[in-house]
Chains A and B, each alone.
Chain A
Amino acid sequence: MQPELIDIRNHMAQFPPFDEMPEALLDQVVESIEIQYFRAGTTILEFGAANTWLYYIRSGAVEVFRRSGELYSRLGEGEIFGQFGLLMHKKTRFPAKALEDTLVYRIPDTIFQFLFENDENFADFVEIEDRSRLRSALSRREKSNDLMTSRVTRLISRAVVSAPSTVRLQEAARIMTDQGVSALLLMDETGDTPKLHGIITDRDLRTRAVTEALPSETPISDIMSEDLITIRANSFIFEAMLTMLHNNVHHLPVMDRDEVRGVIALSDIVKYESQSSLYLVSNIYQQTNVKGLKRISLGVRDTFVRMVNEDANSHMIGSAMAGIGRSFTQRLLELGEEQLGPPPIPYCFMALGSMARDEQLVVTDQDNAMILDDSYVPEEHDPYFLALAKFVSDGLAECGYKYCTGDIMATNPKWRQPLAVWKRYFTDWIENPRADALLNSNIFFDLDGIHGHTEFAESLKTLVAEKASHSQRFLTLLARNALNRTPPLGFFRTFVLEEDGQHRKTFNLKRRGTAPVSDLIRVHALACGSRAQNSFDRLQAIGKTKLLLDDDLGNLRDALEFISIVRIRHQALAIEADREPDNNVRPEDLSPFERSHLKDAFQVVSNAQKFLRFRYNAQVGRNAQ
C-alpha cells in the first residue's frame, strides 16, 4: 500500500472485521480497493445481477433489501454488504440502494475469498451475518451507538405531506390515502408563511372519526391534535424515541426552527432498530386483553438487558423502562374503559415515584393515583373508578409490577379523590408540614399525568412549584428526610456493609445510592420552583438558578449516572444468570474500576448532603417540632 493512503487504512481499521486484521493484510486489502460514488437514491446492487465485490461504506448510508423488496437493514459508515452474494454463486441476493450520497470501497472477490480462507475473524464475521443474521457483540454496539449518534433527519424519507387546517375530514383522508402516509400535518395558512397547526393520524381517523361516525364534511380542525409534541432536526434518534415513549405519541414532526422538515413515525424507528424498546411498546398497544399484555411483559427484562449490553446510559434505560410501564398502564386503562364503559366524569390517572421521574428499572412497585373531576359524587361515581383502579392495579401486578407495599395506589380511596381534595392534600403537606407525614408523601412530589385529563396533574405540578419554594419549613423537613439515608461510605473510604439479615455483607444501591441522590435533588428543585420531575432535568433547572455551583452540579450528575449504571448492570447480570434481580451488591462482585469510582460517587453524595443540611438548616435533632 502507498503510505500516502494511510487515511483509507485508518478508516477501515476502526470497523469490524477489519479492526482485528493484521496490518500487512489490511494493506493488501486497501491496495485492491476500487472507489465508487453513488448519489442518494441510486441502485448499487440489483437483485440477481452478477456481483464480484464486497462493498464497504466509507461515507453515507445504504439500504439493503430482501428479495421481496422489504427492508432488510440500513447500513452506515464502516459497514459492509454484498457478502451474501459472494458466498453464494456470485449473484446478488440482497439488492442495495444508496439512501444518502454514498462513497463505497469495493473489495474484489479474489481478495474476499482470500480473507475468508485465511482470516478466521473475518470469516466468522461475514458468515455469522449470513447464517443467522445475529450480530457479533461489537457490531451490535455499533448499531446501538447508531441510535445514539444518528440524527432524526436520517429517518425522514419523504417530503412533508400537509394540508391547510381548513380542509374537511373526507379531503384529509383522501390526501392521506393518495400519499400513503399515516399522518397528515395541518397548516395554519392565514399568516405570511404557513405555520404548523395540528396533526391527524390514521389512529385518530379510526378512533375519532370512524367510531364516532362523524360526517365527512366535519372540519378537520375539530378532530386534529393541537399543541403538538415536536422534535428538533438536530436531535438524536434516541431522543425521538424517548419523546415518543414519554408522551405516548406515534408521530413526531421534525422542526428546523419554525419550519417542518418532515415527520417521523414510531414505525420508522422500529424499522431502523427492530430491537428497540419502542418495538415492545408498539406491541403493547396491539394487545386486546390482560393475558396478551402479560405475555408481552415477559419480554421487558430482555429489553432491559439488551439496552444494558448496548451501553445505553441510565437516562435512556430509565426513560425506556418508564415508557414501557406507562404504556402498560395506559393500555390497561383503555381496556378497563372498554369493559366498564366510558368514565362518568373526567379523570386523570397519575404515575408517582420512579415512573413519573422517568427513572424506572426492572424491580419496581406500582405507585399510582387518580384525580377525579370536581363534579365527583362518591355514591354515584366511585364504584366505577374503584373498579377501574382495581382492574389496572391487578393487571399491572400480572405484568410484573408488584402491588405497592405502602398502598400508594389508586385502589386506596385516599388516593382516588377529586382535584380539589388533591389540592388540599398538597397545600397541607407544604404549608403545615409534619416530618412523619412528609416521609410518606415524599413520593407524591414526583408525579406525572399519564392518561385522561392530564391537565389535572399539571395543575398540581403548578401548585407545588408555586407553593413549595415559599415554605421554608417544608423545605427544611423535606431536606431532613432526605438526610435519613446516607451513602454506605465509612470514614476511611471503606464500604459500610449491612451487618445482619439476609443481605449481610452487601450494600443497597437503591436505598443508599440512587434514592439519597434523587431525594436531595428533589429538595433543591422544589426550592427553585421547578416543574421538572426527572432528576437530570431537575439538575438542569437547579443550574439555571445558580443554587448550586456548576462543578457541584456536574459532580452530582456524574455520581447519579455512575451509581445508577452500576445498579442497572448489577440487575442485568442477575437476569442473565437467571437470578432474581435486586439492589444488594457485594463489593467483591464489583470490578476494581467500579469500586473506586463508586467510592468517589458516594463521596460526592455525602458532600451534597452536607450542603443540603447547611442550606436548609436541616440539622437532624434541631428544629424538630
Chain B
Amino acid sequence: MPSNPANAGNLHSLPWPDQYAALAKQARTPLLKAFYEAGCVDPETPISDAPLVALDFETTGLDPSQHSIVSVGVVPFTLNAIELNHCWHQVVRPALPLHQTSITIHGITHSDIDEAPDLGEVLDRLFSFLNGRIPVVHYRDIERPFLDVALQWRLGEGIRFPVLDTMAIEAHLHPDRRPSRWQRLMGKKPVSIRLADSRARYGLPHYASHNALIDALATSELLQAQIWHHFSPDTPVRDLWL
C-alpha cells in the first residue's frame, strides 16, 4: 500500500531492494526513512543467511480500517536460531473501544489496556526489531495492512515491505486441502492450515497460552520446520517472500 499512488505502478514492479531505496528517498518521517535505509536483502540471498523477524499482532477484529492492534509480539531469528533474549512483547491501547469478544480471545483486559501506551509511543522500539529484517507472519492479511493503517493514522504515511507467510506456504503445499463433496463422501478430511494445526504436522509442540509473543514464536518455529522439510538452506528468499 504505497503512500504515493502517483508512481505506485512503477514502484511496485521494482525488486524489493530497489523499492526500499526509492521509498527511502520519498519517506518523510525519520522512522520510515531509517527503516527503508536499513535496506532489504538481495532477493538471491539464501534463506539461511537472511535476518528474519516473526511478527504477530493481536487485534480487535479482522478489518484494519475498523479494528485496532491490542498487542505486538516480535521474535528476531534466523533459520538456525531463535533467540529468546531478543524477543519483545507489548500491549498497546487500541484507538477503538475493546469488545468483550476480543477480551475472551486474547485475555487482555481493560485494565491492562488502560495502563498501556499508544502504539505511536513504542514505534521506535518496534522498528528497532524490524529494520534490516524480513518480517515473517502467519497469514499476511493482518500484520502488514494493520501496521500500514496504524502508521498512516499516526505518521501520515504508510509502509511497504515483503513478508514470508507461513500460512501461504502451507496453502501452497496443500492445494487440495478443501475436499470436494465427492472426496468428503469418500472420507477425505480437509487439511487445516491454521497455525496450531500446521505446527502439529511438523511435530512442533502445542502451546497452551495464546498471546502475540507465543504466536510470533510459534510462527518462527514453523518457518524453520517448513524450510527443513520442503526447501533447503540455500533457497533464495525471492522464492519465498510475497
- A36/B82 in contact, CB under 8 A: yes
The interface bits of chain B over 72-85 (1 if a CB of A lies within 8 angstroms of the residue's CB, else 0) are 01000100111111
- Is B229 in the interface zone, CB < 8 Å from A? yes
In the complex, A106→B85 CA distance in Å?
12
For B225, give the chain A residue with the smallest CB separation. Answer: A37
Cβ–Cβ < 8 Å partners of A60 in chain B: 203
- B202/A35 in contact, CB under 8 A: no
For B213, give the chain A residue with the smallest CB separation. Answer: A4
Choose from B81, B207, B212 the contact partner of A7 (Cβ within 8 Å): B207
- B209/A37 in contact, CB under 8 A: no
For B80, give the chain A residue with the smallest CB separation. Answer: A36
In the complex, A358→B198 CA distance in Å?
44
In the complex, A4→B84 CA distance in Å?
11
Cβ–Cβ < 8 Å partners of B73 in chain A: 4
- Is A33 in the interface zone, CB < 8 Å from B? yes
- A8/B84 in contact, CB under 8 A: yes
- Is B30 in the interface zone, CB < 8 Å from A? no
Q: Which of A1-54 contact B (CB under 8 A)?
A: 2, 4-8, 10-11, 30-39, 42
In the complex, A10→B220 CA distance in Å?
20
- A39/B229 in contact, CB under 8 A: yes
For A6, give the chain B residue with the smallest CB separation. Answer: B209
Choose from A4, A37, A100 the contact partner of B89 (Cβ within 8 Å): A4
**Residue among A4, A5, A59 having the largest count of chain B Cβ atoms under 10 Å:** A4
Cβ–Cβ < 8 Å partners of B208 in chain A: 7, 10
- Is A556 in the interface zone, CB < 8 Å from B? no
Cβ–Cβ < 8 Å partners of A58 in chain B: 205
B127 to chain A, nearest CB (A): 19
- Is A534 in the interface zone, CB < 8 Å from B? no
The interface bits of chain B over 95-130 (1 if a CB of A lies within 8 angstroms of the residue's CB, else 0) are 000000000000000000000000000000000000
Choose from B77, B85, B203, B205 the contact partner of A100 (Cβ within 8 Å): B203
Choose from A4, A33, A37, A38 the contact partner of B214 (Cβ within 8 Å): A4
In the complex, A42→B84 CA distance in Å?
23
- Is B228 in the interface zone, CB < 8 Å from A? yes
The interface bits of chain B over 58-71 (1 if a CB of A lies within 8 angstroms of the residue's CB, else 0) are 00000000000000
- Is B221 in the interface zone, CB < 8 Å from A? yes
- Is A124 in the interface zone, CB < 8 Å from B? no
- B87/A2 in contact, CB under 8 A: yes
- B203/A59 in contact, CB under 8 A: yes
- Is A101 in the interface zone, CB < 8 Å from B? yes
- Is B211 in the interface zone, CB < 8 Å from A? yes
For B71, give the chain A residue with the smallest CB separation. Answer: A4
For B223, give the chain A residue with the smallest CB separation. Answer: A37
- Is A408 in the interface zone, CB < 8 Å from B? no
- B82/A5 in contact, CB under 8 A: no
- Is A518 in the interface zone, CB < 8 Å from B? no
Cβ–Cβ < 8 Å partners of B84 in chain A: 5, 8, 30-35
Query: With A4-B73, A30-B84 in contact, is A36–B225 under 8 Å at CB?
Result: no
Choose from A11, A35, A42 the contact partner of B82 (Cβ within 8 Å): A35
In the complex, A395→B85 CA distance in Å?
66
Cβ–Cβ < 8 Å partners of A100 in chain B: 203
- Is B224 in the interface zone, CB < 8 Å from A? yes
Cβ–Cβ < 8 Å partners of A37 in chain B: 202, 204, 221, 224-225, 228
- A32/B204 in contact, CB under 8 A: no
In the complex, A508→B203 CA distance in Å?
50
The interface bits of chain A over 96-124 (1 if a CB of B lies within 8 angstroms of the residue's CB, else 0) are 00001111001000000000000000000
For A39, give the chain B residue with the smallest CB separation. Answer: B228
- B214/A5 in contact, CB under 8 A: yes
- B82/A34 in contact, CB under 8 A: yes
- B213/A101 in contact, CB under 8 A: no
In the complex, A58→B225 CA distance in Å?
14
The interface bits of chain B over 186-219 (1 if a CB of A lies within 8 angstroms of the residue's CB, else 0) are 0000000000000000111101110111100100
- A101/B81 in contact, CB under 8 A: no
- A7/B224 in contact, CB under 8 A: no
- B224/A36 in contact, CB under 8 A: yes
- A42/B228 in contact, CB under 8 A: yes
For B202, give the chain A residue with the smallest CB separation. Answer: A101
Choose from B213, B224, B229 the contact partner of A5 (Cβ within 8 Å): B213
In the complex, A100→B225 CA distance in Å?
12
Choose from A4, A31, A33, A38 the contact partner of B228 (Cβ within 8 Å): A38
- A59/B85 in contact, CB under 8 A: no
A165 to chain B, nearest CB (A): 31
In the complex, A87→B81 CA distance in Å?
23
In the complex, A592→B74 CA distance in Å?
53
Cβ–Cβ < 8 Å partners of B207 in chain A: 7
Cβ–Cβ < 8 Å partners of B221 in chain A: 35, 37, 103
- A35/B81 in contact, CB under 8 A: yes
For A1, give the chain B residue with the smallest CB separation. Answer: B84
Query: With A7-B208, A60-B203, A101-B203 in contact, is A34–B83 under 8 Å at CB?
Result: yes
- A101/B83 in contact, CB under 8 A: no
For A105, give the chain B residue with the smallest CB separation. Answer: B84
- B204/A103 in contact, CB under 8 A: yes
Cβ–Cβ < 8 Å partners of B82 in chain A: 34-36
For B89, give the chain A residue with the smallest CB separation. Answer: A4
Choose from A11, A30, A36, A39 the contact partner of B81 (Cβ within 8 Å): A36
The interface bits of chain B over 122-140 (1 if a CB of A lies within 8 angstroms of the residue's CB, else 0) are 0000000000000000000
Cβ–Cβ < 8 Å partners of B83 in chain A: 33-34
In the complex, A32→B80 CA distance in Å?
15
For B87, give the chain A residue with the smallest CB separation. Answer: A2
In the complex, A10→B209 CA distance in Å?
11
Q: Which of B43-67 contact A (CB under 8 A)?
A: none
Choose from A30, A101, A106 the contact partner of B225 (Cβ within 8 Å): A101
B160 to chain A, nearest CB (A): 29
Cβ–Cβ < 8 Å partners of B80 in chain A: 36
In the complex, A364→B225 CA distance in Å?
54
Can you list 6 A-B contacts with CB-CB less than 8 angstroms, sorted by A residue number? A2-B213, A33-B83, A37-B224, A59-B203, A59-B204, A106-B81
When A and B form their complex, which 7 residue pairs have the shortest distance between CB atoms, in order from nearest? A101-B203, A37-B224, A4-B213, A35-B82, A39-B228, A59-B205, A34-B81
- Give B contacts to A, CB under 8 Å: 73, 77, 80-85, 87-89, 202-205, 207-209, 211-214, 217, 220-221, 224-225, 228-229
- Other than A8-B84, A36-B81, give 7 A-B pairs with Cβ distance below 8 A: A4-B212, A5-B87, A5-B214, A31-B84, A33-B83, A35-B217, A103-B221
